[in-house]
Amino acid sequence: MSALEYERFADIYRVWTATAGSTHANHPFYVEAYLAAGGPVVELGVGDGRIAVDAAVRGCHVVGVDLSPAMLALCRDRAAAAGVRDRLTLLQGDFRSFELPEPAALIALPYHSLGHLTTLDAKREALRHIHTQLRPGGRFVFDDFLMTPDRLDHMRRVQLRAEYDTPEGQHALLWVTSLIDEGAQTMRVVTWEDLLDEDGVMMRRRYRPLSLSWITPAQAAALLADAGFTVERCLGAFDGTPFVDDTAEEQIWIARKDAAA
């Protein structure tokens, strides 16, 4: 992973997540999972805390892990504004090497964030390490892209993602497209922000690329088994619908570290 990519992305992150359909669907799913965990909860790729802070508002203590100092700063600010800074412990670290103060009852990796690791070997290393950071009986929950021809076609299009005013008061348009390598199961998500003057003339354009990847359900199952997890459920949507090939919208995995592990 390149921390620099996420440092550059931090100042548009709220706009990005606010305009993504999956963020509205995954938010209540993860908040409820955190509240039900019954022990230490860890969110990997905590970002600006849009899930973790809302869980903290409802009484949950969350350890948030992120590689990007800029994202962690946004999370601290969000937690402070919500009055729950004391319920969040924030750690800068990689999914493959973070160290927790105590074994977790739940480790979550929301918002397709396993895709920030762009090779199967890196994902395998991460899942093996996550397994070591759970207590016996603890659960690991994550979601990943479910790639279909229609989704790939949509991602390849140039899209106007958002229209908004920046904190400095400039009018802005946020665009996105993706350069996709289907064989490697990787994508280069390219966003660009156009800043406009009062006459609608572009004053400045800034590009922010992100490197992402995806795995198939079969690959996900194999990675979990390799890391020592037992799969409890795979869901096809955040409303709890079981995964069915023809109708699934996402792949959402709930796996357990066995008590004997």
Q: Which pLDDT tens digit goes with each residue over 80-114?
A: 999 999 999 999 999 999 999 999 999 999 999 99
> CA-to-CA distance for 79 and 112, rounded, in angstroms?
23
- CA-wise closest residue to 221 among 110, 142, 115, 134: 142
Confidence of residue 71 (pLDDT cuts 50, 70, 90): very high
261: CB partners within 8 A, 6+ apart: 131, 136, 228
Q: Is 259 helix (H, G, I), strand (E, B) or coil?
A: coil
Q: pLDDT at residue 147 above 80?
A: yes
* Helix, strand, or coil (residue 224): helix
Tell me what pLDDT residue 6 has. Answer: 83
Q: 171, 151, 175: which is closest to 161 by C-alpha?
A: 175
Share of the chain above pLDDT 90, in %: 93
H or E stretch including 191?
Answer: strand 186-196
Look at residue 259 in the predicted model and tell me its pLDDT. Answer: 87
- DSSP code for 239: T
Residue 1 has pLDDT above 60, yes or no: no
pLDDT over 70 for what percent of the chain?
Answer: 98
pLDDT tens, residue by residue, 20-32: 988 999 999 999 9
Tens digit of pLDDT for each residue in 207-219? 999 999 999 999 9
Global pTM? 0.96
Domains of the chain in sequence order: 3-146+215-257 (3.40.50.150), 149-213 (2.20.25)
Among the residue ranges 166-170, 201-205, 249-253, the one predicted with the least confidence is 166-170
As a whole number of Å, the CA-based R_g of the chain is 18
**Predicted local confidence at residue 5, as pLDDT:** 87
Predicted pLDDT of residue 261: 59
pLDDT category at 76 given cuts 50, 70, 90 is very high
Mean pLDDT of 34-59: 97
In the prediction, which pLDDT does 215 show? 98
* Model pLDDT for residues 152-172, shown as the tens digit of each residue: 999 999 999 999 999 999 999
